[in-house]
Chains A and B, each alone.
Chain A
């Protein structure tokens, strides 16, 4: 049985390298100022999708991402690792979206995409850690969700069997297709880039990337349809302007504060035997330890 698999992925700021210009004055994220990476758990989801493709020849894996035009970078990365195609949902009108406006926009894109059997995505993205977009897309599409997935054990006869990793243990559930499955970081790591695919697809570009190329390079892309990544806007996916971007977001950022901790009067010491022994004696004397 061949499957149409959608993988939801996000290009995220590398939160370990956040600089001072990371936030705009309106409290939203200034994504352009940050190094961007493939959200780690979305790679775990991609691996589960590629395994389904391996087990079901003729299947296709399509990456769907919403973000800035440069998010085409993660589509190329996914294609190097084995995905077949990708779509960047990008539009100024989508900017400043909270999770609800984001999931609405992505659900619209999924509807535009049409025929799908299963949607996979990471459990959560490292920039917000909300884990909300997967379940919200499932709700908007009117299909079931399976969150915290660690492994897809079986997909047959219109159902998928999934092992879930929860704080209280492990659960195995069976859900009807189509459904949304969000994948944990504890799932299998994503396979690396394939050298042949890298050679074949390294010049794949989205329309906005193509526009910046020389005429000669553009002609090359035009002559090779497999190098053409798709870019969709809000109007193309029939998104209601009232439900997208900042306007479509019920949550508003009221304030952003740099936190200053009330400094205690710390007792400072060096790596000095006498001082450390005194400290230990003091902690024993006041019954903190011992």
Chain B
């Protein structure tokens, strides 16, 4: 069963810019579309979309669908869902990718529910491959493998949607790499009439107030990260991590367990359900190394693990393993850095 339909990425657009996560998905989408021999398409829904295609074409987009209406910005659930549902009924994409953001995680389920297509959240890898149904023996070619860690972190699951289209997946920001495909690539622009895709009745939720707060922490772009896990043991010990990060000019990150324990803010969480990072230096303190966490930091250039447990799983991917109590080890790192850095 060959599927010649295209791959589409829902692109988020705010303050004149396409979101990074959307460009990352276009980069991955370009690879997948080429492998499938189909077109890469993008859909942008909002207001003041003039020229937005110029931001998209360099990523290898063949078709840009634009749906412009004052009321479509800022994002609300029903109108954006209505546009996608009606558009997908018409163009029948085989794959749809979205950012696993507050928008994508609000929009994706609503669209998948209406179209009865499967949706996999927070994928860490996307591949194309074949599938044979173990019960019916029916064979499928070129399905989207939606790969994500699952369940406590001991396993990675590959999910497929054999019979329903589009195959939908969300991916968090930073998981895929953003790379220009061809700065001179040109595609087609299709302006859609919003009246045909969304009705007045869809505008039911009213935004009364919106406060944009730029996140104070920027761990995604920090070249040095000192990350604490559950083994850090207390909020007080996290202050030690902060001291080391400040000394080295880095940021403090945390595992989910440490965030859940209340020792670090949620915007510092690294891993599948947090931020994915690729720093020059990653110092893991009291981090055991569950898959969900490793998925978010394994591409770090140099990894140092500081852990009481010489057999902590994270040690297998570390370049340097310091076996000891972080309360003793971190002050020494600070001390010897200060001594030698001048």
Chain A contact residues, CB within 8 Å of chain B: 13, 15-16, 18, 20, 22-23, 27, 29, 98-100, 103, 127-136, 138-140, 144-148, 161, 166-176, 186, 249-259, 261-264, 266-271, 273, 276-277, 279-281, 283-284, 288-290
- B205/A283 in contact, CB under 8 A: no
Chain B contact residues, CB within 8 Å of chain A: 14, 74, 76-78, 81, 101-102, 105-106, 108-110, 112-114, 116-122, 131, 133, 145-146, 149-164, 204-213, 215, 224, 248-249, 257, 266-267, 273, 280-281, 291, 294, 298, 301-302, 304-305, 310, 313, 315-325, 328-329, 332-333, 336-337, 339-341
In the complex formed, the residue of A with least CB distance to B114 is A139
Q: Name the A residues within 8 Å of B206 (CB-CB).
A: 173-175
Cα A48 to Cα B229 with chains together (Å) = 31
- A169/B211 in contact, CB under 8 A: yes
In the complex formed, the residue of A with least CB distance to B102 is A166
Q: Name the A residues within 8 Å of B337 (CB-CB).
A: 280, 284, 289-290
What is the distance, in angstroms, from A54's C-beta to the closest C-beta of chain B? 24
- A168/B325 in contact, CB under 8 A: no
Which of A140, A147, A262 has most B Cβ within 10 Å? A147
Cα A22 to Cα B157 with chains together (Å) = 14
- Given contacts A256-B155, A270-B324, A289-B248, are A132 and B108 in contact (CB under 8 A)? yes
Q: Name the A residues within 8 Å of B280 (CB-CB).
A: 288
Cα A283 to Cα B329 with chains together (Å) = 16
In the complex formed, the residue of B with least CB distance to A267 is B320
What is the distance, in angstroms, from A96's C-beta to the closest C-beta of chain B? 12
* Sample of 15 further A-B pairs with CB below 8 A, known A128-B150, A147-B106, A148-B106: A15-B152, A18-B153, A29-B151, A99-B119, A128-B121, A135-B109, A145-B106, A148-B102, A174-B206, A251-B120, A263-B317, A267-B320, A271-B323, A279-B320, A289-B341
Q: Name the B residues within 8 Å of A263 (CB-CB).
A: 316-317
- B112/A136 in contact, CB under 8 A: yes
What are 11 A-B residue pairs whose CB atoms fall within 8 Å in the complex?
A: A22-B152, A135-B77, A135-B110, A139-B109, A167-B267, A257-B158, A259-B149, A261-B294, A268-B323, A271-B329, A273-B336
Cα A2 to Cα B157 with chains together (Å) = 45
In the complex formed, the residue of A with least CB distance to B121 is A130
In the complex formed, the residue of A with least CB distance to B155 is A256
What is the distance, in angstroms, from A56's C-beta to the closest C-beta of chain B? 21
Cα A128 to Cα B291 with chains together (Å) = 14
In the complex formed, the residue of B with least CB distance to A132 is B109
Q: Name the B residues within 8 Å of A258 (CB-CB).
A: 154-155
- Given contacts A173-B208, A250-B116, A267-B320, are A259 and B77 in contact (CB under 8 A)? no
Q: Name the B residues within 8 Å of A280 (CB-CB).
A: 333, 336-337, 340
Counting from the closest, the 8 A-B pairs by CB-CB distance are A271-B324, A18-B152, A251-B118, A250-B118, A132-B109, A135-B109, A250-B164, A136-B113
- Given contacts A263-B316, A270-B324, A271-B324, are A249 and B118 in contact (CB under 8 A)? yes
In the complex formed, the residue of B with least CB distance to A145 is B77
Which residue of the partner chain, among A132, A167, A273, A283, contacts B101 with CB atoms under 8 Å? A167
- A269/B110 in contact, CB under 8 A: no
What is the distance, in angstroms, from B158's C-beta to the closest C-beta of chain A? 4
What is the distance, in angstroms, from A135's C-beta to the closest C-beta of chain B? 4
A-B contact count (CB 8 A): 241
- A174/B113 in contact, CB under 8 A: no
- A261/B152 in contact, CB under 8 A: no
Q: Name the A residues within 8 Å of B109 (CB-CB).
A: 99, 103, 130-136, 139
- Given contacts A254-B159, A264-B318, are A167 and B102 in contact (CB under 8 A)? yes
- A253/B332 in contact, CB under 8 A: no
- A255/B320 in contact, CB under 8 A: no
Which residue of the partner chain, among B145, B151, B301, B332, contacts A15 with CB atoms under 8 Å? B151
Cα A136 to Cα B154 with chains together (Å) = 28
- B211/A266 in contact, CB under 8 A: no
Q: Name the B residues within 8 Å of A254 (CB-CB).
A: 131, 145, 158-160
- A267/B340 in contact, CB under 8 A: no
Cα A185 to Cα B332 with chains together (Å) = 37
- Given contacts A168-B102, A259-B156, are A146 and B113 in contact (CB under 8 A)? no
Which residue of the partner chain, among A23, A133, A266, A276, contacts B151 with CB atoms under 8 Å? A23
- B157/A255 in contact, CB under 8 A: yes
Cα A268 to Cα B215 with chains together (Å) = 37
In the complex formed, the residue of B with least CB distance to A269 is B322
- A168/B213 in contact, CB under 8 A: yes
- A129/B121 in contact, CB under 8 A: yes
Q: Name the B residues within 8 Å of A266 (CB-CB).
A: 305, 315-316, 318-321
